[in-house]
Amino acid sequence: MSDVLHIPEYEDPVFVEPEKQSVSRLRRESLKILFVGNSITRHGVCRELGWEHEAGMAASSEENDYIHLTGRMIGRNVGIYYGNVNRLINAAGTVRNALEVLGEALPLPDLVVLQTGEHEGPRKSAEEVASLYREKLLKPLLAIRENLPVIAVGVWYPTGGEPYPDWVRKIDDTYRNICGEYGIPFASVERYATDPRCCGCGACEPVRWHPNDRGMAGYAREIAALFQKYREQWGI
């Protein structure tokens, strides 16, 4: 198989919902982090794609996906949990509290990390993107509890070394601006997505599109840096 990553014009990334909700439960948790995202955050086994383990696609193992790397970088007794962002996006009507949709088994988090944007596509206007992000994601997440800290990361779109196309940067910029309105720290992952060394692992292109171990480490570094910057302000 060629090592050259083929970048399609646009393909909606595959997502197979994992069977479990909780990634790991530690006996003594001083910090509970809820990661809300798509297949980059967590993907169940999908043998038709050659994906044989459950982790953030395309990490080589669960320990090397960004959620577990982030937990280790924070360096505390961290409880790691995850929810499928598409449950919120596809929920009917107005969601008043995200935990009602994400799963009853999830505990009240001390911190939420939001990873999304890859399913938006080039045909949506900035207004449509903004409305979905604000109404279906940020407001329900912030309603989980008063003054809940949230960290958001931008869109993953591998380019084979080229800058992000305008439509991808439009989504990134829209997310950044809305996060600014709510005082939510935001990190773009463009520097990793446009680095060919950060993707390309896997048996087929839908998997190879995702961040590999190097790309996952980039996510974790960005999130951990924001956590360290704001932790005193958040009181955690």
Q: Is residue 236 part of a domain?
A: no
Residue 6 — very low, low, confident or very high, per pLDDT cuts 50/70/90? very low
Q: Is residue 1 part of a domain?
A: no
Q: How many folded domains does the chain comprise?
A: 1
**Average pLDDT over the chain, rounded to whole?**
88
CATH number at residue 129: 3.40.50.1110
Cα separation, 144 vs 156, in Å, equals 26
pLDDT in tens, 176-193: 999 999 999 999 999 999
User: Are the C-beta atoms of 234 and 149 separated by less than 8 Å?
Assistant: yes
For 6, the 3-state DSSP assignment is coil
Q: Is residue 2 part of a domain?
A: no
Q: Is residue 141 part of a domain?
A: yes
Q: Is residue 6 part of a domain?
A: no
- What average pLDDT does range 68-91 have in this prediction? 91
* pLDDT surpassing 50 at residue 17: yes
Cα separation, 34 vs 171, in Å, equals 23
Instruction: Judge if the upstream peptide bond of residue 58 is cis by omega within 30 degrees of 0.
Output: yes
What is the structure's pLDDT at 20? 47
pLDDT in tens, 125-142: 999 999 999 999 999 999
User: Are the C-beta atoms of 172 and 154 separated by less than 8 Å?
Assistant: yes
Token pair belonging to 8? 């399609």
* pLDDT surpassing 50 at residue 22: no
Residue ranges making up the domain that contains 57: 22-229
Q: Is residue 10 part of a domain?
A: no
Q: Is residue 5 part of a domain?
A: no
* pLDDT surpassing 60 at residue 11: no
Residue 77 — very low, low, confident or very high, per pLDDT cuts 50/70/90? confident
For 121, the 3-state DSSP assignment is coil
Q: How many CA atoms lie within 13 A of 44 on its CB side?
A: 10
Kindly write down the DSSP assignment for every residue of 24-82, as one continuous string: E--SS-SEEEEEEESTTT-B--BGGGTB-S-BSTT-SSGGGSHHHHHHHHHTS-EEEEE
Q: Is residue 234 part of a domain?
A: no
